[in-house]
Amino acid sequence: MEPYRSSPGTLILLVGIALMALSCSRDLAGYADPLIGTAYTGHTFPGAARPFGFVQPGPHTGNFGWEHCSGYNNDDPRIWGFGQNHLNGTGIPDLGDLMMMPFSERSGPRFRSSWDKETEYAVPGYYSVSLTENDVNVEITCTKHTAVHRYHYEGAARNLYIDFQSAQTSSEHQYDTHVLDARVNFESPSTVTGYANVTGWVQRRYYYVIEFSSPVTGKEIVPGNPSNKAPKYVLRFGPGDNDIMVKVAISTVGIDEARANLAAEVPDWNFDRVRSDARDEWNRYFSMIEISGTEEQKTNFYTSFYHLLLQPNDIADASGSYRGADDKVYCAESGHYYSTFSLWDTFRAAHPFYSLFMPDKASDMVNDMLVHSDVQGFLPIWALWGKENYCMIGNHAVPVVVDACLKNLAGVDKEDAYRAVKKSLTQPHYRSEWDIYDRYGYFPYDIIREESVSRTLECCYDDYCAAMLAGDLGYDEDYAFFMERAGFYRNLFDTENRLARGRDSKGAWRTPFDKFHLSHGGTSGGDYTEGNAWQYTWHIMHDIDGLVDLMGGRENFITKLDSLFIIDTKADVTGFVGDVTGLIGQYAHGNEPSHHVAYLYSAVGEGARTAEIVREIFDRFYSPRPDGLCGNDDCGQMSAWYMFSAMGFYPVDSISGEYIVGAPQIPYFKVKLPNGKVLKITAENLSESNRYVKNVTFNGIPAGNVITYSQIMSGGELRFEMTDRQCVHTEIY
């Protein structure tokens, strides 16, 4: 097995097509490192995966708590087993089904094994490791619905522990009780089938077929907690060669559908073919964007690309069948049904990336959100396995749907989309008390006890998005209604402190007011979501001019923005606020509400400060190590920020079709656009000292501080001339 490697390079100053040919292998998957983000707070996992695939098998080093949301933490001493599905970078645990652990004559305690870090190897579509206590070398790959394991036993005995109770949970008690009902059937010596009905972040069902390359010659039940509803087995295999392969196919619908998935995708026992096909599929995606730069830059960029494509997950079977939000079975006409929508995070940059560079996928995702809305009555808030978990605030499928409509993505019906948007923002449902919102013009903190300020500001953006679609369709009254709502943020702006501040139902300000106090919903209370007043005041992506006016003009706005990045005061904290990481002053790059803020400088003509902050974020918070991410990857949002910022622009207002220009961090990009055209991005003279932008041109024409969707789609060259001098631009966005 090849060892894990992640070596930094030296800065490459020469750019161009000749360098691209020399430095960019067509096997771009070799640059993506799934071990990045697997320690500290990244919450990524290093297993095998296909782009947007359903199963994502890989190692577990723990099953309980926030640090094991993905099931794996690189700092842990032992691997517990290998589950068949995982979440990428979330702050709440789930999945981790059907954990398997091979062992030879001996095993570590409770079947867990230390592992040889030098042998751990992870690339897109493949994972391998040597279990030192269990005397087994493990390899894992997968197709869309089927995990494929290959175990090489060092000893004569060939054993396999399977935990059918397994899952990523918040506590050991939840682990013991999350299975509501389960059945395990040994159909034959080489086939096990079954299902489980489980509850965690969502309540869901999964059905499976497990096939072994050698027959099971003996089995024994491993005692578990009396509250467990699913068994744990040790399976024993008879004499033979030292390798055993295991195929695990999963479906949300039924055992027959899981069996059909297996037959369609892995009809034989050719592990190497599945592994090769997986790498080829990843390379087809990665080849859309080729870069020149250092080895470290390539590793960071393609790892970000990899994390971005781990979700949303297509949960439909090979036949198109899937289980919907109401737990009923449906058949997708497109053959796809996407879920795992972490929309509070991903509406900001991940979905704008899909709509810009993968419009066919974006259309499918949006249409599946509309189907989800038809079933549950409103657009998804945070959907997992087709079910709603209501996590986070706002209704941020709205900007994703509106973005697709305003870009006229093929296959999206604007009228259907608008009906879903309007219904979601006017008919009350959980955490969407529109009667209170409309009555007061904000969410009063004495009625809405948690996150009242953040909820108001997040909803203002959704309302603005709805207004833009209403206006596009000619619904003038609706446009006026939603635009009035979009301005509700002004009702919570405290002109004395120049910060967003909570108000009660009588209009009185929150007193006392601790502008540094971090809130975290149900875990630490307060008026903000995973943040404080300093971080949330800037959440006005749709009306920067309006926020500038409230601040008292451009100079006051810039001074306040400077203060955000300088003041490092910390208030006493009660409860959990572990998501607020990656701090520069009060700015928190490890959490999504801050992601657009560096670009506000450029929006008011101070692009040099944007360049400085973006470079600092790159240098401090993205590195090719297991602890290289400063916060949860959050289903690709942290990665999407990196990719956009590396190219030199960012979708501050994600539906506007305008991208605020920043400062590129990689010398050269060649982007194959979905319409067949090519966009080249060149950062001339980019270096450690040349971090500032002197001039920007698009196809030879000065570009100012905004580049548009239509410009990008037309192809050509976006050229940045970089310098070591701070160049202040006065053009205002």
pLDDT digits (tens, 9 = 90+) for 549-565: 999 999 999 999 999 99
Reported confidence tier of residue 726, pLDDT bands at 50, 70, 90:
confident
With a cut of 90, say whether residue 287 has pLDDT above it: yes
With a cut of 70, say whether residue 395 has pLDDT above it: yes
CB atoms inside a 10 Å sphere around CB 511: 8
pLDDT of residue 640: 98
30 to each of 125, 310, 370, 399, how far by Cα in Å?
11, 16, 37, 34
Mean pLDDT along residues 20-32: 70
Closest CA to 598 of 658, 640, 551, 660: 660
Q: How far is CA 711 from the centre of its chain?
A: 27
Dist CA 203 CA 193 (whole Å): 20
449 to each of 392, 437, 503, how far by Cα in Å?
15, 14, 11
- Write the pLDDT tens digit of every residue in 662-710: 999 999 999 999 999 999 999 999 999 999 999 999 999 999 999 999 9
Q: Retrieve residue 270's tokens.
A: 């050719």
pLDDT of residue 519: 87
- Write the pLDDT tens digit of every residue in 440-492: 999 999 999 999 999 999 999 999 999 999 999 999 999 999 999 999 999 99
Query: Which has more confidence, 209 or 572?
Result: 209
Dist CA 294 CA 549 (whole Å): 43
For residue 233, the cross-strand partners are 162, 221
Closest CA to 261 of 169, 148, 365: 148
With a cut of 70, say whether residue 7 has pLDDT above it: no
640 to each of 381, 504, 540, 621, 637, how far by Cα in Å?
20, 37, 20, 14, 5
- The predicted model scores a pTM of 0.95
| C-beta of residue 607 within 8 angstroms of C-beta of residue 705 | yes
Mean pLDDT estimate for the chain: 94
pLDDT of residue 11: 31
pLDDT of residue 728: 53
- Write the pLDDT tens digit of every residue in 593-628: 999 999 999 999 999 999 999 999 999 999 999 999
- Write the pLDDT tens digit of every residue in 203-245: 999 999 999 999 999 999 999 999 999 999 999 999 888 899 9
Reported confidence tier of residue 18, pLDDT bands at 50, 70, 90:
very low
Q: Who's near 32: CB < 8 A, 6+ residues apart?
A: 123, 124, 282, 286, 299, 302, 303, 305, 306
451 to each of 392, 405, 482, 588, how far by Cα in Å?
10, 30, 22, 18
Dist CA 542 CA 253 (whole Å): 41
pLDDT of residue 579: 86
For the four alpha carbons of 535, 541, 547 and 548, in that order, the dihedral sign comes to positive
Mean pLDDT along residues 371-395: 97
pLDDT of residue 577: 85
| C-beta of residue 289 within 8 angstroms of C-beta of residue 313 | no
Dist CA 521 CA 341 (whole Å): 20
| C-beta of residue 416 within 8 angstroms of C-beta of residue 401 | no
Reported confidence tier of residue 366, pLDDT bands at 50, 70, 90:
very high
pLDDT of residue 13: 28
Mean pLDDT along residues 301-310: 98
Reported confidence tier of residue 131, pLDDT bands at 50, 70, 90:
very high
With a cut of 50, say whether residue 730 has pLDDT above it: no
